[in-house]
């Protein structure tokens, strides 16, 4: 099977179930943003994999990549495709909440906004966080027009918080000074 089909040359693509839509459809925008987030999450995991002290976080990110593939699939469902994608398990958002709680317990409280930087891995967490927020906004926009699985938007909301705390955690683990916004 060839990678290119020429089916999209006129600006259309297929959703799960076979429905053909414009590539500017809000569902395509939503799952495209999630696809971008998967790539950045993989890059972050690859950067963390260079040090054994990040093994647990790297494994966690690999699991998140897989869950994001499910989120993307849920956003890509068109007419006739609802029964072709299994919903995201409720435990996925709960696992993120547990990871967030665990990280937050080990971090000092702050009263100022965090500015990305200080370490490439920390900065990548913030790239993931901001792309995740965009994906969440796109998913919410799509859900106003189409029946989008609510678990997908809940997961994206928790995940952006996860990436924020992951950035703070990596800063601490890498012994880098956290950059706070002082207006």
Give tens-digit pLDDT for 17-50: 998 998 999 999 999 999 999 999 999 999 999 9
Beta bridge partners of 94: none
Q: What is the pLDDT of residues 110-125, one digit of tens each?
A: 899 999 999 999 999 9
Beta strands in the chain (DSSP E): 12-14, 20-22
> Model confidence at 132, in pLDDT bands (50, 70, 90)?
very high
- Measured from the Cβ of residue 85, the count of other Cβ atoms closer than 10 Å reads 17
Q: What is the pLDDT of residues 72-101, one digit of tens each?
A: 999 999 998 888 998 898 899 999 999 999
- Which of 90, 86, 74 has its CA nearest to residue 147? 74
Question: In a 3-state reduction of DSSP, which class is residue 145?
Answer: helix
11 contact partners, CB below 8 Å, separation of at least 6? 22, 23, 24
State how far the Cα of 139 lies from the Cα of 17, in Å rounded to an integer: 19
131 contact partners, CB below 8 Å, separation of at least 6? 33, 36, 37, 40
- Measured from the Cβ of residue 183, the count of other Cβ atoms closer than 10 Å reads 4
Helical axes 120-145 vs 26-48, angle rounded to 10°: 160
């Amino acid at each position: 099977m060839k990678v290119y089909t020429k089916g999209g040359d006129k600006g259309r693509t297929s959703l799960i179930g076979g429905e053909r839509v414009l590539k500017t459809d809000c569902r395509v925008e939503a799952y495209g943003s999630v696809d971008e987030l998967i790539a950045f999450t993989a890059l972050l995991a690859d950067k963390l994999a260079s040090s054994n002290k990040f093994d647990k976080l790297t494994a966690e990110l690999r699991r998140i990549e897989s869950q994001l593939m499910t989120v993307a699939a849920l956003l890509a469902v068109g007419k006739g495709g609802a029964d072709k994608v299994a919903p995201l398990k409720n435990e996925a958002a709960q696992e993120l909440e547990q990871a967030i709680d665990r990280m937050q317990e080990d971090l000092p409280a702050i009263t100022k906004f965090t500015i990305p930087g200080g370490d490439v891995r920390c900065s990548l967490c913030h790239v993931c966080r901001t792309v995740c927020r965009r994906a969440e906004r796109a998913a919410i926009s799509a859900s106003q027009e189409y029946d989008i699985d609510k678990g997908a938007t809940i997961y994206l909301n928790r995940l952006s918080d996860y990436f924020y705390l992951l950035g703070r955690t990596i800063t601490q683990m890498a012994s880098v000074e956290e950059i706070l916004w002082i207006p």
